[in-house]
Structure 1
Amino acid sequence: MKLGPLRLKLQVACGDAVAFGPGKADLLGAIAAEGSIARAAAAMGMSYRRAWLLVDEMNRCFDPPLVETLRGGGTERGARVTDTGAAVLVAYREMERDAAALAERSAYARLRTHLREAPLPSSK
């Protein structure tokens, strides 16, 4: 039985909320690239409402906020990732790389000896 590589899901908690995780990191990166929450959501195949809720949760968990919305006409509208948002994204991606290195540790090898390739069917 060949198991795939270690896959950890890093989440940063803020009280009971998930302040940051892989999906929010991807969304923040898309906002930086697209300059708009709506265009970032579309690029990710996500609804604007879902993207807005994720941005709102991130902004409520970090000080200062990670995303700033720009109102007005012309080129000065949309959204931008703040300096804090960029710093949080860089730090999170570094943590992901550090976590990937856990696959080389003996604890990972011991855990893998007990892990199934896929879950058993539900007994319900």
Structure 2
Amino acid sequence: MPATSRPRLAKSAPSRFTGRIEVATDVGAFLGDTRVRLLEAIDSCGSISQAAKRVPLSYKAAWDAVDAMNNLADQPLVERSTGGKAGGGTRLTDHGRRVIAMFRAVEAEHQAALDRLSQRFADMPGGDATSFQRLLRRMSVRTSARNQFVGTVSGLREGRVDYEVRVRLDDALELVAVVTRESAETLGLAIGSEVVALVKASSLLLVTDPALRLSARNQLWGTVSRIVDGPVNAEVTVDLSGGRSAVAVLTRESVPALGLAEGVRACAAFKVSSVILAVID
């Protein structure tokens, strides 16, 4: 009986940086991935409606994009005709094809540069392109909520109309949020998925007495690191574990009443309903 060899496991592809380029003018965006794909589809289909479906874009959005590009370009990229036996159509001009070729060439060079950067990053001690990309995506989130915590879903408890979601920040910290069933499905929440928990500073209550019993489910203990005094309110930062911090806004009178000062042990407490969950695609 011939000997059989165990199949080799395929090596996972190395992490790589990916990015998109955009050509902009003083009056706004001119070319990007979506618009170039629209131009390519027009060249292939000869029809704006078919090209819009292929991208996909709405018919109006496709024409708006074409009009904007033609207005910004020194020569038309797209020409259209109406009537006739064929019912009219849309075609790419020679200048449009040159613009596409130039964009794709720059895009290829851009990706080649990113690939070289990925390799250099991977060769560095602790280098991980994937984790670096996640960090950049997190940093790009813009919100008015002062408190932003990134964690993984560690628990899901289904109710009749909502879900209780536990978010593990690190070994010492865990948050609890309540979202509707529809929101949980829209976000695609699952155990182990990464989420961003947002909490407004005005939703945080500060407590210094460890014996005080609160109804708020989320209670994060730490040390006051900074107090910024204002004419009416004060902003208090509490350092937590793992280099995280929580910021609370409270009245000026509350600061001395609670005995708050730098170095004082304090708890940032907030309700589960005060937590907004977000997912970064």
Q: Mark yes or no: TM-score above 0.5.
A: yes
CA contact (8 A) 2:30 2:69 kept: yes
Superimposed CA distance per residue, residues 16-43 of structure 1 (whole angstroms, 9 cap, x where no aligned partner): 3110011111000000001011110022
Structure 1: 5+ residue runs without aligned partners? Answer: none
Distance 1:41 1:78 in 2: 13
- Find 1:32's aligned residue among 43, 53, 63: 43
Which residues in structure 2 correspond to 1:79-118 (within 5 Å)? Answer: 79-102=90-113, 103-105=115-117, 109=121, 112=129, 115-117=132-134
Superimposed CA distance per residue, residues 74-109 of structure 1 (whole angstroms, 9 cap, x where no aligned partner): 236111001110000000000111011112137962
Superimposed CA distance per residue, residues 58-79 of structure 1 (whole angstroms, 9 cap, x where no aligned partner): 1111011111111222236111
Change (3 A) 1:50 1:3: farther
Change (3 A) 1:46 1:122: same
Aligned to 1:123: 198
Change (3 A) 1:113 1:83: closer
Q: Aligned residue pairs: how many? A: 123
Aligned to 2:206: none
TM value normalised by structure 1? 0.84
Distance 1:123 1:108 in 2: 34
Change (3 A) 1:101 1:50: same
For 1:123, the aligned partner's letter is: L
Q: Which has the higher contact order (CA 8 A, sep 6+)?
A: 1
User: RMSD of the alignment, in Å?
Assistant: 2.6
- Find 2:76's aligned residue among 53, 61, 65: 65
CA contact (8 A) 2:23 2:32 kept: yes
Superimposed CA distance per residue, residues 38-61 of structure 1 (whole angstroms, 9 cap, x where no aligned partner): 110022232100111111111111
For 2:20, the aligned partner's letter is: K
Change (3 A) 1:23 1:108: farther
TM value normalised by structure 2? 0.40
For 2:116, the aligned partner's letter is: E
Structure 2: 5+ residue runs without aligned partners? Answer: 1-12, 139-149, 151-195, 200-281
Change (3 A) 1:87 1:76: farther
For 1:23, the aligned partner's letter is: T
Residue 88 of structure 1 aligns to a residue in which SS?
A: helix
Aligned to 1:6: 17
